[in-house]
């Protein structure tokens, strides 16, 4: 059975699920040219048959009648279908004069989460952005994982040099603020994360979960420890303190590859377990026991995600997590946290490099530093609302729903309304895209090729798996890369009639030239032949072939005949297992010193802010945290009936003591308010929460005028970001605070 687009009607295909970070293999059966069943691919080298309800619904997404297939243009509040040519002509007519008159920065871009989940966006967005040349770039990273990029940038010299938990070989896993049983894992690509956690326990390992809520993951843990929202930085500093205090520092092989050990010791000195216990809500003796057990384990991992990133000290918490991994000798060793080496990247062969920098330019209105070549999303509205040179007058959103995903959503909604022009590359008419003047829908998930550029770089094994499109793309649909390149051509002044192949050729020529310039490149001096060899593909497939062939396992365009290329990879329909992760320090380090910078100045400087927070008197307030459900994907899978069914999930969870104190009973309606806004929601009383903490999911609130997602609109959910506060953020990364938001809860009658 091949995995290429089939002309026959009845067949089975094997492809990777693009919906979350886990990259599960799917087995899809087609009858009469239509996908009828989606199962887990038992032969998939990575997921081995596992799938979750979202993966099982992929065909529903593909055939969803509300999913847009053709471009639509808005006139007033009405959208009408137009041809692709008309849509691009419209953009040319409306957008180019804005760019010409006000400069490229007047066009803002918001890139949403699924941009990391498609081959086309991963490989073709950069060229489109280069063509636009705007500094007004925003992405969902600053309501998510930006703190991790910053801490890794500063410590290892690369924002994408992220060490992932080697969960299959560890004996001790300490999880802070992640709930992989619902999320399937993040910055840790591991299909069947739940199964891998159970296997860890079965082989005698220990799983500890630290979270303000006794989550699904906490419930299968060996030990669950409840923490105050935002308290992780104090806990982590104190654990490090204990390691020094009790002579438990044992970096092992890493000892000769680290800078800043003494500075870390003096930095953590004041953070004794006794000093922090009130601020993190964990007793001093428990903190000591956590540190001692971590140091004693033969192999161990400290791993944290959303719950430690979307808080006031998110960057510092991510930093201290890796400091703990280094000090216990667990960074870059099997069973600890390790750096993947995916097929589409070359192996770095020499320690050291240019390092990582941020703040190279500042935002116009608030003077906020650029981080990772983007500005924090919390300042997007400032840039749209504030007149002056460089004001954002037009916006392009690609696979994003900022009206639901960003804090102070009501302000975002209002700001988008005032734009002179807005384009959305998206296949739903949703809370955000209803503001667009043109929506350009990419083809569905079964008519496009796939390879996880982002997530194989974060996978707990080195894996490569390519999926061709299962079905031929209908002639009147466009793939995302084609849309992006067409926009790129428009931005470069080529005109709406110019063929996509013009941009495609320009992009591959640049990519080949760049690849040839890299140290140890297998193709230097050989670029003409390479370009000829790449001719069999176009778009992202061609980029991927180049990356794989010049990558760590590649054929080097003939230099290493047994090596990998896309053609070969295609024959591994169940994926290619390139083996367990291997140590890569020091070569992988890109810091100017060639060492791990344990104590970067920016982060040491942040200790002042942390110390003053430690000294602040406690307020008696309820703190709001978030939760994810296995059958959601942020805001956007809510139109799939099989994912939406069941008891209502959009409830405010509250501890019985707090409920009693407020006078609320299970099922009653409550009004939740913050400095930003108010929402009304049913209450769910549960002992799973820590007293003083309430919990509400994000991603809801589709029932807005103009949305065309019939299933989602009927669901009685409300947008949590009506009450989160865009002015609260971690200044180091610009990341928004979405967990630990102070709120008041009252019965609705009051």
Ligand X SMILES: Nc1nc2c(c(=O)[nH]1)N[C@H]1C(S)=C(S)[C@@H](COP(=O)(O)OP(=O)(O)OC[C@H]3O[C@@H](n4cnc5c(=O)[nH]c(N)nc54)[C@H](O)[C@@H]3O)O[C@H]1N2
Residue ranges binding ligand X (CB under 6 A): 20, 112-114, 118, 140, 143-144, 176-180, 182-184, 186, 210-213, 215, 227, 229-230, 232, 305-308, 311, 398-402, 404-405, 425-428, 430, 442, 480, 625-630, 632-636, 698-699, 720-721, 724, 738-740
Q: Which of 108, 112, 177, 191 binds ligand SF4 (CB under 6 A)?
A: 191
CB of 63 to ligand X, least distance (A): 15
CB of 20 to ligand SF4, least distance (A): 3
Report the residue number, 40 or 626, with the smaller CB distance to ligand X: 626
Report the residue number, 187 or 732, with the smaller CB distance to Mo ion: 187
The separation between the first and the last C-alpha atoms of the chain, rounded to the nearest angstrom, is: 64
Report the residue number, 144 or 216, with the smaller CB distance to Mo ion: 144
Residue 207 contacts ligand SF4 per CB under 6 A: no
Nearest position to ligand SF4, beta carbon? 55
Cis peptide before 586 (omega within 30 of 0): yes
Binding partner of residue 653 among ligand X, Mo ion, ligand SF4, none, CB cut-off 5 to 8 Å per kind: none
Residue 19 contacts ligand SF4 per CB under 6 A: yes
Question: What CA–CA distance (Å, rounded) separates 63 from 443?
Answer: 11
Stretch that binds ligand SF4, among 15-23, 202-210, 544-552, 731-739 (CB under 6 A): 15-23
Binding partner of residue 307 among Mo ion, ligand X, ligand SF4, none, CB cut-off 5 to 8 Å per kind: ligand X
In this structure, the chain runs to a length of 750
The answer to whether the beta carbons of residues 625 and 307 sit under 8 Å apart is yes
Q: What is the largest CA-CA distance in the chain?
A: 76
Q: Quick one: angle between helices 601-615 and 314-327, nearest 10?
A: 110
Q: Per-residue x/- mask for ligand SF4, residues 253 to 292, rule CB under 6 A?
A: ----------------------------------------
**Phi, psi of 580, rounded to the nearest 5 degrees:** -70, 165
Half-sphere exposure of 232 (CA within 13 A, CB side): 34
Report the residue number, 117 or 312, with the smaller CB distance to ligand SF4: 117
- Please give the DSSP secondary-structure letter assigned to residue 257: G
CB of 341 to ligand SF4, least distance (A): 21
Stretch that binds ligand SF4, among 16-24, 96-104, 421-429, 691-699 (CB under 6 A): 16-24
CB of 196 to ligand SF4, least distance (A): 12
Q: Which of 23, 118, 634, 721 binds ligand SF4 (CB under 6 A)?
A: 23
Q: Quick one: angle between helices 119-132 and 480-491, nearest 10?
A: 10
The answer to whether the beta carbons of residues 189 and 458 sit under 8 Å apart is yes
With vertex at residue 50, the alpha carbon angle to CA 193 and CA 195, rounded to the nearest 5 degrees, is 35
Report the residue number, 71 or 114, with the smaller CB distance to ligand SF4: 114
Question: How far is residue 634 CA from its own chain's centroid?
Answer: 11
Report the residue number, 55 or 699, with the smaller CB distance to Mo ion: 699
Half-sphere exposure of 714 (CA within 13 A, CB side): 7
Question: What CA–CA distance (Å, rounded) separates 109 from 114?
Answer: 15
In three-state secondary structure terms, 490 is helix
The answer to whether the beta carbons of residues 398 and 109 sit under 8 Å apart is yes
The answer to whether the beta carbons of residues 649 and 629 sit under 8 Å apart is yes
Q: Which of 184, 424, 465, 469 binds ligand SF4 (CB under 6 A)?
A: 184
Nearest position to ligand X, beta carbon? 307
Residues in the interface with ligand SF4 (CB under 6 A) total 12
Q: Which of 3, 13, 14, 22 binds ligand SF4 (CB under 6 A)?
A: 22
Binding partner of residue 136 among Mo ion, ligand SF4, ligand X, none, CB cut-off 5 to 8 Å per kind: none
Segment 119 to 178, residues that bind Mo ion, using CB under 5 A: 144
Residue 463 contacts ligand SF4 per CB under 6 A: no
Stretch that binds ligand SF4, among 14-22, 141-149, 259-267, 335-343 (CB under 6 A): 14-22
Which secondary-structure segment (H or E) carries 643?
A: helix 641-644
Question: What CA–CA distance (Å, rounded) separates 577 from 572?
Answer: 9
Work out the burial of residue 475: count CB atoms within 10 Å of its CB; fewer than 13 is exposed, 13-18 middle, 19 or more buried. Answer: exposed
Q: Which of 388, 491, 396, 380 lies closest to 100, judged by CA?
A: 491
Q: Per-residue x/- mask for ligand SF4, residues 33 to 72, rule CB under 6 A?
A: ------------------xx-xx-----------------
Question: What CA–CA distance (Å, rounded) separates 610 from 235?
Answer: 12
* Residue 749 neighbours by CB under 8 Å, 6+ apart: none
* Residue 352 neighbours by CB under 8 Å, 6+ apart: 157, 589, 590, 591, 592, 593, 594
Work out the burial of residue 153: count CB atoms within 10 Å of its CB; fewer than 13 is exposed, 13-18 middle, 19 or more buried. Answer: buried
Report the residue number, 113 or 265, with the smaller CB distance to ligand X: 113
CB of 182 to ligand SF4, least distance (A): 10
Stretch that binds ligand SF4, among 20-28, 105-113, 194-202, 384-392 (CB under 6 A): 20-28
Question: What CA–CA distance (Å, rounded) separates 44 from 24?
Answer: 8
Binding partner of residue 182 among ligand X, ligand SF4, Mo ion, none, CB cut-off 5 to 8 Å per kind: ligand X
In three-state secondary structure terms, 308 is helix
Residue 17 contacts ligand SF4 per CB under 6 A: yes
Report the residue number, 117 or 149, with the smaller CB distance to ligand SF4: 117
Show the DSSP H helices in 518-597 as ranges. 527-533, 539-549, 566-570
Report the residue number, 24 or 695, with the smaller CB distance to ligand SF4: 24
Site residues for Mo ion per CB under 5 A? 144
Site residues for ligand SF4 per CB under 6 A? 17, 19-20, 22-24, 51-52, 54-55, 184, 191
């Amino acid at each position: 059975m091949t995995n290429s687009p089939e002309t026959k009607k009845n067949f089975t295909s094997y492809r990777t699920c693009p919906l979350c970070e886990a990259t599960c293999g799917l087995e899809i059966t087609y009858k009469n040219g239509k996908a009828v069943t989606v199962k887990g691919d038992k032969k998939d080298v990575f997921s081995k048959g596992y799938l979750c309800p979202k993966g099982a619904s992929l065909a529903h997404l593909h055939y969803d009648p509300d999913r847009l297939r053709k471009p639509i243009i808005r006139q007033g509040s009405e959208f009408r279908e137009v041809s692709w040519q008309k849509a691009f002509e419209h953009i040319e007519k409306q957008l180019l004069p804005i760019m010409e008159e006000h400069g490229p920065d007047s066009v803002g871009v918001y890139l949403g989460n699924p941009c990391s989940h498609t081959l086309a966006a991963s490989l073709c967005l950069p060229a489109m952005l280069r063509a636009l040349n705007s500094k007004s770039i925003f992405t969902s990273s600053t309501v998510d994982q930006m703190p991790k990029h910053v801490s890794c940038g500063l410590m290892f010299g690369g924002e994408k040099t992220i060490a992932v938990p080697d969960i299959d070989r560890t004996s001790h896993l300490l999880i802070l603020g992640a709930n992989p049983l619902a999320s399937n894992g993040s910055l840790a690509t591991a299909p069947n994360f739940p199964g891998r956690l159970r296997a860890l326990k079965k082989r005698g390992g220990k799983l500890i979960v630290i979270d303000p809520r006794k989550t699904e993951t906490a419930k299968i843990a060996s030990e669950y420890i409840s923490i105050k929202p935002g308290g992780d930085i104090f806990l982590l500093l104190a654990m490090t303190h204990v390691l020094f205090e009790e002579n438990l520092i044992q970096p092992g092989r890493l000892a000769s590859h680290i800078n800043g050990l003494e500075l870390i010791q003096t930095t953590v000195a004041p953070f004794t377990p006794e000093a922090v216990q009130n601020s993190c809500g964990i007793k001093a003796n428990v903190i000591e026991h956590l540190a001692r057990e971590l140091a004693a384990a033969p192999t161990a991992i400290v791993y944290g995600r959303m719950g430690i990133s979307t808080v006031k000290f998110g960057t510092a918490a991510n930093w201290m997590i890796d400091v703990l991994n280094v000090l216990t000798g667990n960074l870059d060793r099997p069973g600890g946290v390790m750096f993947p080496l995916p097929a589409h990247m070359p192996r770095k062969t020499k320690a050291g490099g240019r390092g990582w920098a941020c703040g190279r330019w500042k935002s116009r209105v608030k003077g906020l530093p650029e981080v990772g070549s983007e500005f924090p999303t919390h300042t997007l509205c400032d840039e749209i609302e504030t007149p002056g040179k460089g004001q954002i007058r037009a916006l392009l959103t690609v696979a994003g729903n900022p009206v639901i995903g960003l804090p102070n959503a009501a302000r975002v909604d209002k700001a988008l309304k005032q734009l002179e022009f807005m384009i959305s590359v998206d296949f739903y008419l949703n809370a955000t895209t209803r503001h667009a003047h043109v929506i350009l829908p990419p083809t569905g998930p079964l008519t496009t090729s796939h390879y996880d550029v982002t997530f194989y770089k974060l996978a707990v094994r080195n894996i490569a798996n390519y999926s061709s499109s299962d079905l031929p793309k209908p002639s009147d649909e466009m793939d995302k890369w084609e849309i992006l390149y067409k926009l790129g051509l428009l931005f470069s002044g080529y005109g709406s009639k110019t063929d996509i192949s013009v941009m495609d050729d320009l992009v591959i020529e640049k990519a080949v030239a760049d690849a040839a310039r890299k140290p140890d490149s297998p193709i230097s001096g050989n670029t003409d032949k390479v370009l000829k060899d790449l001719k069999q593909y176009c778009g992202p497939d061609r980029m991927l072939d180049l990356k794989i062939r010049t990558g760590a396992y590649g054929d080097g365009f003939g230099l290493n005949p047994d090596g990998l290329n896309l053609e070969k990879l295609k024959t591994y329909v169940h994926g290619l297992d390139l083996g367990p992760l291997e140590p890569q320090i020091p070569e992988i380090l890109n810091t100017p010193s060639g060492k791990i910078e344990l104590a970067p100045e920016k982060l040491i400087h942040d200790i002042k802010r942390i110390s003053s927070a430690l000294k602040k008197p406690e307020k008696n307030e309820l703190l709001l945290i978030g939760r994810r459900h296995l059958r959601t994907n942020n805001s956007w899978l809510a139109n799939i009936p099989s994912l939406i069914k069941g008891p209502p999930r959009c409830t405010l969870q509250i501890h019985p003591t707090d409920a009693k104190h407020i006078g609320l009973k299970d099922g009653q309606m409550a009004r939740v308010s913050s400095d930003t806004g108010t929402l009304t929601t049913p209450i769910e009383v549960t002992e799973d929460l820590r007293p003083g903490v309430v919990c509400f999911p994000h991603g809801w609130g589709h029932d807005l005028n103009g949305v065309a997602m019939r299933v989602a609109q009927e669901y009685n959910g409300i947008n949590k970001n009506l009450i989160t506060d865009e002015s609260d953020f971690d200044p180091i990364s610009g990341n928004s605070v979405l967990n630990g938001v102070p709120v008041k809860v009252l019965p609705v009658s009051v």
